[in-house]
Structure 1
Amino acid sequence: MSYIHGYDPVTLREVVNSRECRERLDELGDQRSLPALLERVWLLKVLDRLDDALDIADQTVRTARMAGTRKDLLRARILHATVLQFRGSLAAATQELTTCALEAEGAGWASIAAFAYQHRGKVQYDAGDFDAARADFKRALFARQSTATPDDQLESTLLAIDAAERRRAEAGAAVAS
């Protein structure tokens, strides 16, 4: 079941039903499997419980490092970076996402690289660097088009490109006046 009901066209954040997310979080309880930890981090993040999300994200990265694959570790690190982003640590999030994107590209994992670029674009977007955000969203789109990416992920990337272009145009108009 997807808990994402769309994306805010201004902030690019996930639109979720908080009640559904809280119920799922309760269902997960204290499960310690890597998939459960990843899901808990995401749920805590979208519920704006960022201190808890960061604690579990740190635990998730350690678990992936000890018991997961390289892909698992990249996914955990990307999710960790998104928590940093939501907490306002944009430079740290950018650095982590850059490292993850380059590692994924080097290994030939286009879907993970796309995931990292998409989120790095969101960090750039939050920082007000709409040119860099647009470039990252385009990189994510090209990577996603090279794989069997679900339509909802392609749509979220296209929405992000449009938002970055719109915000770039608005910023340009504000400077010109």
Structure 2
Amino acid sequence: MSLIQGYDPDTLRERVNPRECEMRLDEIEGQRSLPALMERVWLLKVLDRLDDALPLSEEAVRQARMAGTRKDLLRARVLHATIMQCLGKYAAAEQELAHVASEAEGQGWAQVAAFAHQHHGKNAYDAGDYEQARESFKRSLFLRREAGADDRGLETALLAIEAAERRGAVEPVAI
């Protein structure tokens, strides 16, 4: 069961039930596996407990580097970058997400690359670069289609493209 109930059309952030997220966090608190560690990071992120999420995201990257697969490492790096994004460190997040997307595409891992491009777009969106956001979301959509994503996955990318286009049309471009 997914804890994501949808996405805010203006911020593109996940909509979750905080109580359910807290309950899930309590359930997995003692687990030390990489998937559990990454889930804890995500839960802390959506609960806006970024000071707790940042060191755990760094630990997830270390653990993935030492004991995970290359795909695990790329996913952990995306998660770490999303924490940086939430902290307003857009340049650091952009660099990390661009590297992950490039590496995943180079390996032919369309799902991982789509995930990285989607978050690259969200980072650009938060930073106010709506043109870059739109391009990243479009790349994510293309890769999701290539990987055979379901309608929900495609809809998420389409809604993000629409939001970036809407924001780009409203926000004046600095010259």
TM-score scaled by structure 2?
Answer: 0.97
Aligned to 1:77: 77
Residue 151 (structure 1) shift? 2.1
Task: Specify the alignment match of 2:106 in structure 1.
Answer: 106
RMSD (Å) for aligned C-alpha atoms? 1.1
Map 1:7-22; keep pairs closer than 5 Å: 7-22=7-22
Please give the alpha-carbon distance, in whole angstroms, between the structure 2 residues aligned to 1:116 and 1:107.
Answer: 13
The residue identity in structure 2 corresponding to 1:100 is V
Aligned-residue offset at 1:153 = 1.6
Query: What SS does structure 1 have at the residue aligned with 2:15?
Result: strand
* Aligned-residue identity in percent: 65
Calculate the TM-score normalised by the size of structure 1. 0.96
Is 1:34 matched with 2:24? Answer: no
In structure 2, the gaps of 5 or more residues are none
Residue by residue over 1:40-67, the C-alpha shift from the partner in whole angstroms, topping out at 9 and shown as x without a partner, is: 0000000000011111101100110010
Aligned mates of 2:85, 2:163 — CA distance in 1: 18
Deviation at 1:157, TM superposition (A): 0.6
The residue that corresponds to 1:45 in the other structure is 45
Structure 1: gaps (5+ residues): none
How many residue pairs get aligned? The number is 174
What is the match of residue 87 of structure 1?
87
* Equivalent residue, structure 1, for 2:6: 6
Q: In structure 2, what is the Cα distance between the partners aligned to 1:37 and 1:149?
A: 25
Where does residue 146 of structure 2 map in the other structure? 146
Residue of structure 1 in register with 2:165 after alignment: 165
Tell me, what secondary structure is at the counterpart of 2:155? helix
